Structure 1
Amino acid sequence: MVYYRSAEDIYEEMFLGYTETDTSEGSLIYNSCMPVCIKLSTALLDLDEATKKVFASSALESGYSNYLEMRIKEVGIERKQPTYASTKIDVNGSPNANLKANSIVGIKDNRLYLTQNDLVLDQDGHGKVIIKAENPGSKYNAKVGEINYLPIKYNGITSIANKEAATNGYAQETDEDLYARYLLKVQTPVTSGNDYHYKQWCLETEGCGSAKVYPLWNGNGTVKCVISNSNKRAASKELIDKVKQHIEEVRPIGATVTVVSVEELLLNISVSLIYNSKETTLDKIKENIRNSIEEYLKKVALNINYISIAKIGALILSSDGVEDYNNLTINSSATNVTVNDNQIAVLGEVVCNAT
């Protein structure tokens, strides 16, 4: 703390050198002045907290999200808000059957979606309709075929299925990602159309989570932007088009811009664990390990050229419940995994064996 002092220290300084006056606890002077010292001490403590709130770095470290957001907004950067996953589903049933807008469909794990418009099935009993998640966030992104559940029975509707993945569901931008965009703007030499500028334009687009810029990649006047989504996974065509459109609105005249998605490099991990089975379960440890590795991979996305097996081992060892490990492999190999320039490492299968 910079300003804080205890009430006792303040009181002692007030009467430093008073040797012939009774200032001991319980004296008239003590009882009169100590309440003031307590108030001064509290005010200094509040001043320390206020100092943490006015600087972006200390607001981040101290968890003052609202103050971080207000400080960063002063330079024109606003937090990206959560978005809703959406896709199109095939609907089957009786000819001319109706499915009203806001009908509920979903996945059996209780992820629910709402139809966005009225649908009347054709003479063959088929139709298509767009659906949107009931809540924002990445948990509502779904693979092909996952959305096949009708929690409510609708007359004439027998089945549904999504032949396209549900995408573009993102959580609210984290404090760390917001602060990283702030640093990019205030600490890097952004000028008209340099590579930092293109990176900034990519990252300020809703849904873009990381970006790498290659100037002059195909000759003079060409720029290539490699992006991931906010979940640090491959970008959808919709996101690529959105980033491209935003850059086209602000880029210098004459530049030819190419925007592409990162390529996902799948990491399948196998490890043998030593743990106390009386205190935890293998499934719980596996969940902890997966969370730790996924968080790490998101932090280093597009910033490293290899995945260190030693680092993965350290993450495993630091996971709750793990006492030791052996036989660690990544993609069936006990060596580092190379990550190419346009690749982003994503976690695949995690196999944990007890030893």
Structure 2
Amino acid sequence: MFENFTFDFLMQRMLQRVQSFDSAIDTSEGSVIYNSLAACAWELAENYIDMDTILNMAFADTAPRDELIRIVQEYGLEPKPATKAILKGEFNIDIPLMSRFSLGALSYISIEKISTGTYKMECEIAGAEANTNLGPLTSIEFIEGLETASLTELLIPGLDEEGTEAFRERFRNYMKNPSQDGNLTQYEQWANEYPGVGRSKIFPLWNGGNTVKVAITNTDYLPAGSTLISEFQEYIDPGIEGKGNGAAPIGSKVTVTGGTQKNISVSGNVILAEGYTSTEGVYEAIKEYLASITFLKNSVSYMRLGSTILDCPSIADTNNLVINGGVVDIVLNGDEIPVLTSLNLVVTG
């Protein structure tokens, strides 16, 4: 809005104003009038820069993080905080709760017994770093009889603090689609804001009147695990009773599922780009594409997937591309979640 109010623009306008009063006044560079106005124009230009910055801070679509948080707090929303990962720990004996272990640079604490020798282990540091940290544990405290200890499975992913642009986009969606009175948008909000949930899909009246099914993914947009499903079920409608003991209103019987995995296999021939010796980055790119459409699109696009492969720097060309044995879009029904289970690309050049 104020980007045109530069030093040169202001200086020219002020000099013209002086000359409009008396054209005989010396306004050349170095004159008393010029030097006096130059100092003023410089300060004014700085003020206009500050005004432009302040103006951007006042609107959610341009505000920096701190100001964005203050704006959005007026609507009752805040960035999702970082959460701690919970993993499955397996031991040769039962261990005391609150026992501490380490793996690499991270430490874990036993918070709940699952079964004999199996516990929920919570990372002591919030964030996503622990999500892939599996392997043998080292006991920080002496536990008599302990011989083996390891983290074997991620139960609930840890999350980093919500990023600025993700928070901004969530606020935009909140304003465009108000959630209230148990409408579909509110069910989506309950699910998508729950720690560990990546995305959700709501199925009203899925099993008759007053029933709702909520299918959820984890933060990698893969089918949610049993622990996350049970914890979110307890949060939204304990026991699927519709008694209003959770977030859902009275009379609404909510069933939480982790979605149904739809296996996606991809094969074909590729020609590598110059300087590459492998199909580097293709697997990750396809996974990212599938994650981007989970619960948002009703099919895996044959053309879009092919384009995803061609967009990889390591690939110069592709042919004979086949998805699930065919050359057509793969339909996603209901709560199906596309998961890449097989990738076989033959390098032909």
- TM-score interval w.r.t. the shorter chain? 0.7 to 0.9
Deviation, 1:75, is 0.7
- Kindly indicate whether residue 178 of structure 2 is the aligned counterpart of residue 181 of structure 1: no
Deviation, 1:180, is 3.7
Deviation, 1:194, is 1.7
Provide the identity percentage: 27
Partner residue of 1:308?
301
Choose which of 121, 126, 133 in structure 2 pairs with 1:131.
Answer: 121
Partner residue of 2:310?
317
Structure 1 residues 305, 100: closer, same or farther in 2, change over 3 A?
closer
For residues 125 and 222 of structure 2, the distance between their equivalents in structure 1, rounded to whole angstroms, comes to 20
Deviation, 1:303, is 0.7
For residues 99 and 253 of structure 1, the distance between their equivalents in structure 2, rounded to whole angstroms, comes to 36
Q: Which runs of 5+ in 1 are unaligned?
A: 120-125
Q: Which amino acid aligns with 1:201?
A: W
Q: Which amino acid aligns with 1:254?
A: G
For residues 184 and 203 of structure 2, the distance between their equivalents in structure 1, rounded to whole angstroms, comes to 7
Choose which of 131, 135, 158 in structure 2 pairs with 1:147.
Answer: 135
Q: Which amino acid aligns with 1:116?
A: S
- Kindly indicate whether residue 271 of structure 2 is the aligned counterpart of residue 286 of structure 1: no
Q: Is the 8 A contact 2:91 2:146 kept in 1?
A: yes
Partner residue of 1:122?
none
For residues 297 and 70 of structure 1, the distance between their equivalents in structure 2, rounded to whole angstroms, comes to 34
Partner residue of 1:267?
264
Partner residue of 1:330?
323
Q: Is the 8 A contact 1:142 1:167 kept in 2?
A: no
- Kindly indicate whether residue 234 of structure 2 is the aligned counterpart of residue 245 of structure 1: yes
Cα offsets for 1:306-344 (capped at 9, x unmatched): 122322233333334544444434345443222222022
Deviation, 1:227, is 1.6
Q: Which runs of 5+ in 2 are unaligned?
A: 238-245
Partner residue of 1:341?
334
For residues 323 and 140 of structure 2, the distance between their equivalents in structure 1, rounded to whole angstroms, comes to 43
For residues 133 and 298 of structure 1, the distance between their equivalents in structure 2, rounded to whole angstroms, comes to 26
Indicate the RMSD between aligned Cα atoms, in angstroms.
3.5
Report 1:83-162 matches (<5 A). 83-92=83-92, 101-104=99-102, 106=103, 110=104, 112-116=106-110, 127-142=117-132, 146-148=134-136, 150=138, 157-162=146-151
3-state DSSP of counterpart to 1:250:
coil
Q: Is the 8 A contact 2:14 2:37 kept in 1?
A: no
Deviation, 1:71, is 2.1
For residues 255 and 345 of structure 2, the distance between their equivalents in structure 1, rounded to whole angstroms, comes to 41
Choose which of 34, 38, 48 in structure 2 pairs with 1:34.
Answer: 38
Q: Is the 8 A contact 1:201 1:246 kept in 2?
A: no
- Kindly indicate whether residue 212 of structure 2 is the aligned counterpart of residue 223 of structure 1: yes
Partner residue of 2:5?
5
Structure 1 residues 240, 149: closer, same or farther in 2, change over 3 A?
closer
Q: Is the 8 A contact 2:191 2:197 kept in 1?
A: yes
